[in-house]
Amino acid sequence: MSPTRTGEPRDPHDDGRARMRAVVGSDRIEEEIFGRVFDGKVVRRIWAFVHPYRRRVWIAVAAVLVFTVSQLTIPLLIRYAIDHGMAPDAPPGLLAGIVALFGVAIAVNYAASLTQERVTGWMAENVLFDIRRKMFAHLQHVSLSFMDKTEVGRLMSRLQGDVNSMQEFLETSVQSVGDIALLVGIVGVMLWLDWQLAAMVLMVLPVLLGVRVLWLAKARAAFMAAHEANSVANGALAEAIHGVRAVQAMGRAHLNAELYGQLVGRTYQAHLRASRLAQIMIPIVDTLTGIAMAVVVVGGGLMVVSGRIEVGVMVAFLFYIQRFFDPIRSLTMQYSVMQRAMASGHRLTEVLDVEVDVTDAPDAVPLGPEDDGSVEFRGVTFGYDPEHPVLKDVSFHVKSGERVALVGPTGSGKSSSISLIHRFYDVQAGAVRVGGHDVRDVTQESLGRHIAMVLQEPYLFTGTVMENIRYSSHWASDDDVVEAAKAVGAHEFVQAMPLGYETMLEERGSNLSLGQRQLLSFARALVADAKILVLDEATANIDSYTEMQIQKALQRLLEGRTGLVIAHRLATIRNADRIVVLQQGHKIEEGDHETLMAQKGLYAKLYDLNYASFDDLPEDLSEADRAIAT
Amino acid sequence: MTRPDHASAPETAPDAAPDNAPDDRMFRRTAAVDTQKGLGAIARITRMCFRYPRRAGIAFAATVAAVVMQLAIPVILGDAVDRTQAMAGADPDVGALVVIALTLLGASVLRGLFTLAQNYAAESVGHALAQDLRNAIYDKVQRLPFSFHDRTHSGDLITVGMLDLEGVRMYFSTALVRTLLLTLLIGIGAWLLLSTDVVLGLLALSFVPFAAWRSSVMQLTLRRTWLILQEKLGVLSQKMEENLAGIRVVRAFAAQDHEMAKFDRSSKDALELSHRRIDVRVRNTSAMTFAFFAAMGLVLLFGGRQVASGEITVGTLATFLTFMTILQMPVRQLGLMVNAYARASTCGARLFQLLDMPVEIDDAPGAQDLKITDGTLRLDNVGFAYHGAGEQRAISGISFEATRGETIGIIGPPGAGKTTLMHLIPRFYDATEGAITIDGQDIRDVTLSSVRQAVAIVQQDSFLFTTTIENNIAYAAPFSEDRRIRGSADSAQLHDYVLGLPHQYRTVVGERGVSLSGGQRQRLSIARTLMMEPAVLIFDDSTAAIDAGTETRIRAALKDYARDRVTLIVAHRLASLMHADRILFLENGRIVERGTHEELLALGGRYKALYDLQMHPEADVLDQTEDAR
């Protein structure tokens, strides 16, 4: 992550002191690409995914073996045709017979290759999709603290890149069975035809193998470098596109183009180097092939002359020689594929092994409509790390239909409290009760229906407005959705969109303003029609007009339900029936506005300071005030 | 003996942008490219390849030489077999055998070397071309105006620069050189076979038309379905990504089942298509192999009879068979070649569409640099309509003047045109009516770079670059000294925060670095704009996430700074701009009220209403709620 790259342009006004601080693109920290060639644990895990398709695997392996045998038979038949079928004294019909056999061989070859490739291809694709599905499903349930500390991009590369390299591995695995069989077969047939000639020819094999292995290490480094250079250049282009407005506003286009030119120059060099290394193998293989053929011509020629072998054998040898480099090439490539697959497999296993720490109890009951909308914290202690609790022995009770505002400075435990109500995490001591039940005794699904939640950052999905408001409330009709939108005051702007409720929201609603997105997420919660509404109020300043609309919508949303709001806005707080003040994980004050003001505690202090937001403590708070607040 | 070709998927990088957008989107991957444009693109790429005449020449010459060697080998082999057979039973002529063997070895080595030269030269032409194009694309993208970027998906643009570039890069080696190679191989091979024996030659070549046809159909089908598959996979990854990024929403609504159902729908779709693609590939490659072997069987049968009857020698037959094996691969590759042309034409058409895009906002011919004298900004009856909005103007009839040291506040409801107006001053867009002048010079008549230097803007959504904090602050002035960078950071009330970071000013921020809060981003964005020393400084709603206290301190720190320039502040928090020398209230793209804070309050209009709303929000909301009930 060095801030400077080599080869900076010189500043024409360089005074010798100032350094240039310009870069385009950035270095990427690539993950380990190659792992051990074989990792038993990983292979076992992957096998579990292949297991449902094991019959197909055997079919594929059988087909690949049949295919290989047919591949080997074909030159042999040619040899028989030449040596016997074409001899002047050959019985009539022998040649036709051999050619008929040849026909059978190629038909078998056709069927086997069709079967093998199709079965392998389908199987590998299926396994790929299965692994991805399993992983994705797993991520739906793993602990949120894992999700919080893991970048989405990282998980995506598990779900895409790593899964793909497993697929590549599976597909090529079956082929390598074929490659090995072919190699063994060729060597075997050659030895069987004439072991002395075969021994002479096969001497090139270890040389080829050795060269190939040496080459592989070097070439791989060069290929990786080229790949890396490529992605850096592409990253720089992406940056220029995403940041074009900043680039133009600050007049950096010219300098950036110069820097990019250097970057691309390096990419070019890296590619050329990789290309040189890739091509260097060609003359080597050709030379070795040439040597092997020369050996056959001289050695085999002498044997033919001395009558030791027939000329057909010599022709067959020449055929085989041109073929045995192919399996060696694919086998060495398979080696890399395997290493890559092991590294990927290891990472996949890690994700699949992430613990799911919140599960339904075996005797969990569903929360139903008969359960009320009360929420109770009974001596709750909780910490993401049990050593450092963020909530300490907190108790409060929200009656069904009541509105309670949670306030307190950053780090007071407000957000953790609402996560516990929804059982995103389990408490370490005490209990959270919803509708009179401990949340650990009810099913998560029913808990989700009992509570509607509005997060601080409105989050929309790519899809139509209709789909976004309805989200998972399948029971809601289109009219319900429109009603909800009307209730929160979103109907007007939705109507004004090109296709109304059927308008696509692109890139998570980037075509909407923050306030509009907020209103849509309110409508979504309203459609869910839960008994309890939990809301984390947005902190960002929005313009006063939208702000007013949101406040109105909020009132509408809270009507007739239990409301628990992490409040930042004075209006919201003053509208609450009760206010719970948290500080560093403790509940320090509780009561309505007047009571708390009369207490002259933290709440009164913050209220008097008249800050728009209660949790973003201003930096110019006096030392004394700060001491109270934190 | 052949291995089925696996090199059938021509493109390996995933398509970036998933889309559900309307079909008129520019640079869409699956959009058809008309033939005329496609052919034009091919011609243009071909011309571009010959910018490297030496390398291109070497590639072509080496191709010819490699083909000659390639074809010489079976001839030598046939000769070897014949001579050996002739010697059978007699005294072996070791010398003759050694000569043949050495010739064979020499031909093999030369074939390898020429192939190396051919491939390397061809690839190097491609890479050189890619280098040129990359620079051209980058330059173009950076210079195309906001209006272009507004209506183009960034993902599509990135794809042009990655995948389309790749398609064009591969053109020389996979299309042009391969055309020469295949023409020579197949042409000479066919001629040799036919001139030796017409009937046997025709039999040997009988698989060629079939294989060429299947291979072309297969490659074109694979390419077409590849693009569709990428689109489907794009949708799938988008679904997964949104799910993971919004996992809290998913959990909050207990919507896991809903999400899995969405996933399965997309996933099944993609899986079915990839199964179909496998079938296309497998059926065609197997059929090609079969056709080839069938032809070989015929040659064996009829050739064998001729050998038996002494019409031809065993060596000739061996030559025939070897030629067939040599021809087999190139014939199968005809499809790749056809595909390379198809790919280059569509990729090239899109690429050139981008490169030929006119840069609408550029220097007027003979434009001079802007000369700042008094530093007076003047807007004269300025109006603007967005591209495609027809007559509907976002702003109209805007006139005001500001002199050095003055601060103008701009306020108004969302959608009033505040940001639009601010974007006209640095010439991000050109006003469609009226004129903007700085010291009497119309900003359209002077050089663009001098305007951008004179007008600095802190944008609403500030893009941070994935690099260190100091590089970000010094973005507009990369040669600045540390002292200035720290000074700017200090004015923007960022310095203390930066000192608390692990690597202080060397801490990497942005996408893959430390993530900053909204307020910190805005302060960083202010700091980097302060580095520019402009004549006009614009804050476009850029303090919304900064708390009131910090904002006050930033304003105090900028007091001296503001004395040397015009400052325009767009905000919705009145406290941010009530100190301004003049406040403009914008509504529906027009100035409806103007004056100082006091004047506007006295006026008792919209500004006053907004002021009341902001001072006593709760009262208002309570009233509203009462109404609602």
* pLDDT one-digit tens code per residue, B186-224: 888 888 888 888 888 898 888 888 988 888 888 888 888
The answer to whether residues A514 and A550 touch, using CB atoms and an 8 Å cutoff, is no
Q: Flag if A11 and B479 touch (Cβ within 8 Å).
A: yes
Identity at A81, one-letter amino acid code: A
Q: Tell me whether A7 touches chain B (CB under 8 Å).
A: no
Closest residue in B to A13 (Cα) is B479
Closest residue in B to A233 (Cα) is B134
pLDDT at B105: 92
- Both tokens assigned to A44: 């076992």
- Both tokens assigned to A483: 């009603």
- Both tokens assigned to B142: 């950076």
Q: Flag if B1 and A71 touch (Cβ within 8 Å).
A: yes
The answer to whether residues B185 and B51 touch, using CB atoms and an 8 Å cutoff, is no
In CATH terms, the superfamily for domain A31-194+333-357 is: ABC transporter type 1, transmembrane domain (1.20.1560.10)
Percent of chain A predicted with pLDDT > 70 = 88
pLDDT at B14: 33
A250-288: burial string, b at 16+ Cβ within 10 Å, e else: bbbbebbbebbbebbbbbbebbbbbbbbbbbbbbbbbbb
Residue B163 CA to residue B194 CA, distance in Å, equals 43
CA distance B63 to chain A (A): 14
Q: Tell me whether A358 touches chain B (CB under 8 Å).
A: no
CA distance B40 to chain A (A): 26
Q: Which of A113, A527, A541, A597 to mutate to test the interface with B (most CBs of B within 10 A)?
A: A541
Residue B531 CA to residue B470 CA, distance in Å, equals 11
Chain B residues within an 8 Å CB radius of A181: none
DSSP B505-559: GG-BBSTTSBPPPHHHHHHHHHHHHHTT--SEEEEES--TTS-HHHHHHHHHHTH
Cβ-nearest to A279 among B119, B257, B258: B119
Q: Higher confidence at residue A509 or residue A7?
A: A509
Residue B110 domain flag: yes
Q: How many CB pairs lie under 8 A apart between chains A and B? A: 495
Residue A333 CA to residue A331 CA, distance in Å, equals 5
Q: Do B432 and B470 share a structural domain?
A: yes
What are the CA-CA distances from residue B355 to residues B132, B140, B333 (Å)?
A: 12, 6, 32
Pairs from B516-523 (Cβ < 8 Å, separation ≥ 24):
B516/B464, B517/B545, B518/A540, B518/B544, B518/B545, B519/A616, B519/B545, B519/B546, B519/B547, B519/B550, B520/B494, B521/B462, B521/B464, B521/B545, B522/B458, B522/B462, B522/B546, B523/B492, B523/B493, B523/B494, B523/B497, B523/B550, B523/B554
Q: Do B413 and B281 share a structural domain?
A: no
pLDDT category of residue A20 using cuts at 50, 70 and 90 = low
Residue B368 domain flag: no
Q: Flag if A472 and B617 touch (Cβ within 8 Å).
A: no
* pLDDT one-digit tens code per residue, A494-529: 887 778 888 888 766 666 777 788 888 888 888 888
Residue B512 domain flag: yes
H/E stretch holding B165: helix B165-169
Average pLDDT, chain A: 80
Q: Print the domain residue range for B49.
A: 32-197+343-359
φ and ψ of B584, to 5 deg: -110, 130
What are the CA-CA distances from residue B286 to residues A179, A557, B141, B292, B300 (Å)?
A: 17, 64, 45, 10, 21
> Which of B359, B392, B427 is the endpoint of a domain?
B359
Q: Flag if B278 and A121 touch (Cβ within 8 Å).
A: yes
Domain boundaries in chain A? Answer: 31-194+333-357, 195-308, 375-625
pLDDT at B135: 92
CA distance B397 to chain A (A): 24
Cβ-nearest to A297 among B100, B289, B453: B100
* Residue A397 burial (CB count, 10 A): 14
Q: Tell me whether A83 touches chain B (CB under 8 Å).
A: no
Residue B602 domain flag: no
pLDDT at A30: 54
**Does position A31 have pLDDT exceeding 70, yes or no?**
no
Q: Do B214 and B290 share a structural domain?
A: yes
Cβ-nearest to A314 among B81, B250, B317: B81
Q: Which CATH class is domain A375-625?
A: alpha beta
CA distance B341 to chain A (A): 22
Chain A residues within an 8 Å CB radius of B269: none
CA distance A487 to chain B (A): 10
Q: Flag if A618 and B547 touch (Cβ within 8 Å).
A: yes
The answer to whether residues B313 and A122 touch, using CB atoms and an 8 Å cutoff, is no
**Does position B106 have pLDDT exceeding 90, yes or no?**
yes
- Supply the CATH number for residue B417's domain: 3.40.50.300
Tell me the residues of chain A between 160 and 219 that have a Cβ less than 8 Å away from chain B: 160
Q: Do B581 and B446 share a structural domain?
A: yes
**Partners of B436 in beta bridges:** B379
pLDDT category of residue B129 using cuts at 50, 70 and 90 = very high
The answer to whether residues A577 and A591 touch, using CB atoms and an 8 Å cutoff, is no
Chain B residues within an 8 Å CB radius of A625: none
- Both tokens assigned to B452: 């951008």
Residue A434 CA to residue B552 CA, distance in Å, equals 45
Closest residue in B to A29 (Cα) is B512
Q: Flag if A548 and B617 touch (Cβ within 8 Å).
A: yes
Q: Do B222 and B170 share a structural domain?
A: no
Q: Which of B515, B555, B621 to mutate to test the interface with A (most CBs of A within 10 A)?
A: B621
Closest residue in B to A314 (Cα) is B81
Chain B residues within an 8 Å CB radius of A548: 613, 617, 620-621, 624
Name the 3-class secondary structure at B442: strand
pLDDT at A629: 42
Cα torsion angle, B136, B139, B142, B144, sign: negative
H/E stretch holding A505: strand A504-505
Contacts of B56 (CB under 8 A, 6+ apart): B49, B50, B121, B125, B172
Q: Flag if A18 and B481 touch (Cβ within 8 Å).
A: yes
Q: Which of A229-238, A594-603, B319-328, B432-441 has the highest mean pLDDT?
A: B432-441
Q: Tell me whether A322 touches chain B (CB under 8 Å).
A: yes
Identity at A216, one-letter amino acid code: L
Of the listed ranges A406-410, A412-416, B619-623, the one predicted with least confidence: B619-623
CA B289 to chain centre: 38
Residue B324 domain flag: no
- The interface pTM score, or ipTM, of the predicted complex is 0.82
Contacts of A448 (CB under 8 A, 6+ apart): A422, B251, B252, B253, B254, B255
CA distance A114 to chain B (A): 6
What are the CA-CA distances from residue B457 to residues A598, B303, B395, B570, B572 (Å)?
A: 47, 83, 19, 11, 17
Tell me the CB-side half-sphere exposure of residue A497, using CA atoms within 13 A.
20
Q: Which of B144, B312, B523, B547 to mutate to test the interface with A (most CBs of A within 10 A)?
A: B547
Helix (H), strand (E), coil (C) string for A544-560: HHHHHHHHHHHHHHHCC
**Does position A480 have pLDDT exceeding 70, yes or no?**
yes
Q: Which of B12, B222, B249 to mutate to test the interface with A (most CBs of A within 10 A)?
A: B249
Q: Flag if B428 and A249 touch (Cβ within 8 Å).
A: yes
Q: Which of B119, B243, B286 to mutate to test the interface with A (most CBs of A within 10 A)?
A: B286
Residue B102 CA to residue A290 CA, distance in Å, equals 9
* pLDDT one-digit tens code per residue, B339-398: 888 888 888 888 898 898 888 888 888 888 888 888 888 899 888 888 776 778 888 888
Q: Tell me whether A607 touches chain B (CB under 8 Å).
A: no
**Does position A225 have pLDDT exceeding 70, yes or no?**
yes
B172: DSSP letter? I
Q: Do B416 and B494 share a structural domain?
A: yes
Tell me the residues of chain A between 361 and 380 that have a Cβ less than 8 Å away from chain B: none
Q: Higher confidence at residue A236 or residue A506?
A: A236
Cβ-nearest to B241 among A14, A156, A240: A156
Q: Do B108 and B158 share a structural domain?
A: yes
Rg (Cα) of chain A, in Å, rounded?
Answer: 36
Q: Higher confidence at residue B270 or residue A311?
A: B270
Q: Tell me whether A10 touches chain B (CB under 8 Å).
A: no
Chain A residues within an 8 Å CB radius of B154: 238, 241-242
**Does position B117 have pLDDT exceeding 80, yes or no?**
yes
**What strands, in cross-sheet order, belong to the sheet with B377-384?**
B395-402, B377-384, B433-438, B441-442
Cα torsion angle, B77, B81, B87, B92, sign: positive
pLDDT category of residue A481 using cuts at 50, 70 and 90 = confident
**Does position B599 have pLDDT exceeding 80, yes or no?**
yes
The answer to whether residues B330 and B292 touch, using CB atoms and an 8 Å cutoff, is no
- The angle at the Cα of B145, spanning B139 to B149, to the nearest 5 degrees, equals 90
φ and ψ of B331, to 5 deg: -65, -40
Q: Do B394 and B299 share a structural domain?
A: no
Q: Flag if A144 and B278 touch (Cβ within 8 Å).
A: no
The residue behind tokens 């001053």 is: B425
Q: Flag if A544 and B92 touch (Cβ within 8 Å).
A: no
Chain B residues within an 8 Å CB radius of A276: 120
Closest residue in B to A91 (Cα) is B308
Q: Closest by alpha carbon to B42, among B338, B280, B257, B256? A: B338
Please name the residue ranges forming H helices in B246-368: 247-252, 256-308, 314-355
Cβ-nearest to A265 among B131, B310, B474: B131
Q: Which of A250-259, B39-48, B331-340, B553-562 has the highest mean pLDDT?
A: B39-48
Q: Do B591 and B539 share a structural domain?
A: yes
Q: Closest by alpha carbon to A524, among A565, A561, A490? A: A490
Residue B328 domain flag: no
Q: Flag if A326 and B3 touch (Cβ within 8 Å).
A: yes
Q: Do B189 and B215 share a structural domain?
A: no
Q: Look at chain B and report how many structural domains it folds into.
A: 3
Q: Flag if B1 and A319 touch (Cβ within 8 Å).
A: yes
DSSP A315-336: HHHHHHHTTTHHHHHHHHHHHH
pLDDT at A15: 44
- Both tokens assigned to A277: 């290394």
Q: Do B427 and B483 share a structural domain?
A: yes
Tell me the CB-side half-sphere exposure of residue A135, using CA atoms within 13 A.
26
Q: Do B519 and B403 share a structural domain?
A: yes
Q: Closest by alpha carbon to B193, among B322, B333, B107? A: B322
**Does position A181 have pLDDT exceeding 70, yes or no?**
yes
DSSP A47-85: HHHHGGGHHHHHHHHHHHHHHHHHHHHHHHHHHHIIIII
Name the 3-class secondary structure at A405: strand
* Residue A93 burial (CB count, 10 A): 10
Q: Determine if residue A409 is left, alpha or beta; phi over 0 gives left, psi from -120 to 50 gives alpha, anything else beta.
A: beta
Q: Flag if A1 and B263 touch (Cβ within 8 Å).
A: no
φ and ψ of B582, to 5 deg: -145, 145
- Supply the CATH number for residue B157's domain: 1.20.1560.10
Contacts of A532 (CB under 8 A, 6+ apart): A373, A375, A421, A434, A450, A451, A452, A561, A562, A563, A564
Residue B96 domain flag: yes
pLDDT at B2: 37
Q: Tell me whether A506 touches chain B (CB under 8 Å).
A: yes
Tell me the CB-side half-sphere exposure of residue B218, using CA atoms within 13 A.
28
Q: Higher confidence at residue A82 or residue B23?
A: A82
Q: Flag if B81 and A140 touch (Cβ within 8 Å).
A: no
